[in-house]
Each structure stands twice: as structure tokens, then as C-alpha cells.
Amino acid sequence: MTLTSTLADCWLGLCRKAPVLHTAASVVLGDGKISHSVQPDAGGPSGSPARIRRGIGIATGSIHALFHDRRLILFSLLADLVILFLVAAEGWILTHYDLFRSSYLWIPFGDTTLIVFDLRLFLIEAVCLSGFTFLLAALVGYRNAKNDEQPVTFRGAFTAASRHAGTLAALSVTMALVATLLLELTAQNETLGTIEFTISMVLFWLPYAYYFTPNGIFTALFFSFRILVANAVLFLLALYVVPSIVLEHKGLISAIAGSFRLMKKTWRELLGCALVFGAIILAVACIGLVIGQSPALLNNDYDFFLQETRGQVLMMGACYGFLLTCGVLMALGTTVLGIAITDLYTCGKKGNVSRAMAKVVTPVLEPHK
């Protein structure tokens, strides 16, 4: 802060003109444009609790946005089609098992271990993940344009996403390869297999429904659910990759590297989102737990599940209704997650502005003329 005056304006230490505070706008170096001063973590408060609350607001706002923009429902309907394709593909493979006996590759792992690589699973994963990735890319472009108050249409979002088809396809194939290896390693590892089987029996292997329906249908639903869970984990690990590709036109490697850097920067906002979405997942899991443990809750009264006059129809409706509801929630969750990812990405990028690139606002005291 500087005080400017002239000898003519002062006599015996008394100023005839009172100093007036003037604020100079900060100027970004090398840009030539006037900008506002940069606050720490632009876009909101910088404290950890405030940033966690911001993440909670992003999560609840994404749910609110889904039900207040009809075009977002179309993304969920397309996600449902991808899920239906996955179930249908699994069911067809199970009912035509003899056609795929030669679809396994044996990969040496160590001195005495062989990993079975299922080409059928890889192909299904590649198609499924390509659909989800392209949907997410279109959704990111749509949401970003809406946030910037730019005109955007449902078709225009997909047209913009198609410009990155090559990079998105490479990402999908890479994730399909990783997902296939993870699922095969889980199935072939005794410890991981035991953990997965225990969780499945507690939550997802719903009681006795498979006794009264073709085995292929229930098994297809079960394996499809496993695949969707594995895909969700991969998308969470590569959270900001698709926004980096779509919004910054990055290649696959640079997008993956930037994704992890941005995750480290926005981990508090991610924690806030996890609290909201985790609570929803926990509530659904509790319902599945009640259904899955219903025999124990009914003192193992097996006649209740086996007789049509008692609980057979009721429990089959509960089991398959639960699975159907999970499918719908997954489709809606795909859209909500895409909205939240876009908003988190924007939040992280706004806070990434370097303070060194701007001059500090300097108040200057000048004499009033």
C-alpha cells in the first residue's frame, strides 16, 4: 500500500486533499487480459470440511439434475440397453457352451501357475465397456455444455463424443483386458474366490429362485452382476480419464496420468460424493441382505419357499424384483455418476489455477483530485 502526494498539496504536514483508495485489477502475466484475483482453491471454500460438503453437494446435485432434465433420462435408457445386452450375451453363451470350448487361452504365470484367459468374456467386456465409455463421453460433453450455458442437444453430444472414438475405443479395450484378467484371477485364486463366494451367498445368491427357473437365466443374471461390479471399479479407478479425453482432447496415456493427479487434488470432494453414493449402495445392500438371509430369518422353514400357496411366488417376486430394481438403479447411477464426474472435474480444474500466474491485487492510495 503506497501513499502518493506532492509537496504542493501539503503544508506543515496537513494535506488539503484526502487520500482515496483505488483498486487495480489483477492482470494475468503473458495473457494480456484482465481477470479477477485468484482465491485459494477457486470455486468455493478451501477448508477440508467445506470441500467435503462441496462433494456432498455435487452428489446430491447430480441426482437432482437427473430428474429435472428429461434428456438425461435418455442416457439412462441407453445404459439399460447396454446392461440388457450383457445379460443376453451371457445367457446365449451359457446355452451354447459347446460352441466355445476352444475360446480359452492358457497364460503362464510364474513357474507352475497357468491363468485361464476367456476370450468370450473379453469380447463381451469390450463391447459392454465401449458402450458405457461412449455414453459417458457424450454425457460429459452434454453436462459441460449445460454448465457453461451453451446450446447442446442429445444428438450433438454424441456427435461431439464421436470425434474421440479412437481414444475411447483404446480405453475400452484396455479396461476390458484388465477386467477379464481380474475376474479370472478372482475365480482361480482360492482366497479371493472364497471371499467372492461368501459375499455372493450373503447378498446376491437369492434363495431358491434358481430352483424354479431355467438355470441359464439366473446364472446369466448373476455373472452379469459380477461383470458390472468389476466395470464400476475400473471406472472409479479411471475416474477423470473420459473428461480429460473429451474436454481437453488428450491422448489415452496423458489422460490416465492427468486423471490420477486430479484425483489426488480433489480427494476431499470425492469423499463427499462417496458418502452420498455409498449410503445409497449400503441401503440397497441391506435390502439384498434381508432377502438373501430370509431362510435364517424364517427359521429355515423351507416349505415357505417351496409351496406356491405360501411363499414361493412371493419370494420369486422379491428376488427377481430386487434384481430388476438393481438393473434400473445401475442405469440411473451411470447417468448420475457421469454428471458428478463432470462437475468434479470442473471443480478440480478451477482450483488448479496457479496463483503465481496472476498479480496480487494491490490497493493504491492516491490523492483525490
pLDDT at 32: 41
User: What number of other Cβ atoms are within 10 A of residue 91's Cβ?
Assistant: 19
pLDDT at 8: 42
Residues 6+ apart with CB under 8 A from 273: 55, 56, 58, 59, 340, 344
Q: What are the cell numbers at 292?
A: 438373501
pLDDT digit of tens for each residue in the chain (369 aa)? Answer: 444 444 344 434 444 444 444 444 444 433 444 333 333 343 445 568 899 999 999 999 999 999 898 889 999 999 999 999 988 888 887 777 666 666 777 777 666 667 777 888 899 999 999 999 999 999 999 999 988 888 888 899 999 999 999 999 999 999 999 988 888 887 777 787 788 777 777 766 655 555 555 555 666 777 787 788 888 888 888 889 999 999 999 999 999 998 888 998 899 999 999 999 999 999 998 888 888 778 778 887 877 877 878 887 888 788 778 878 888 999 999 999 999 999 999 988 875 333 322 333 333 333 444
Indicate the pTM of the whole model.
Answer: 0.75
Tell me the β-bridge partners of 105: 117
Residue type for 243, please? P
User: What number of other Cβ atoms are within 10 A of residue 287's Cβ?
Assistant: 14
Residue with cell 471371499: 195
Nearest residue to 171 via CA among 82, 266, 239, 116 = 239
Backbone angles phi and psi of 8, in degrees to 5: -70, -25
pLDDT at 293: 79
pLDDT at 41: 41
pLDDT at 279: 95
Residue type for 25, please? A
pLDDT at 357: 29
What crossing angle do the helices spanning 312-350 and 241-248 adopt, rounded to 10°?
50
Residues 6+ apart with CB under 8 A from 346: 144, 147
Is-contact 59 276, C-beta < 8 A?
yes
Q: Given CA atoms 307, 308, 309, 313 in this order, what sign does their dihedral have?
A: positive
pLDDT at 369: 41
C-alpha 141/C-alpha 161 separation (Å) is 7
Residues 6+ apart with CB under 8 A from 284: 326, 329
pLDDT at 333: 92
Q: What distances in angstroms separate CA 159 from CA 78, 156, 165, 210, 365, one per listed residue?
A: 16, 5, 10, 43, 54
Is-contact 339 73, C-beta < 8 A?
no
Nearest residue to 209 via CA among 292, 267, 118 = 292
What residue ranges in 49-100 does DSSP mark as E strands?
none
Element (H, E) at 107: strand 104-109
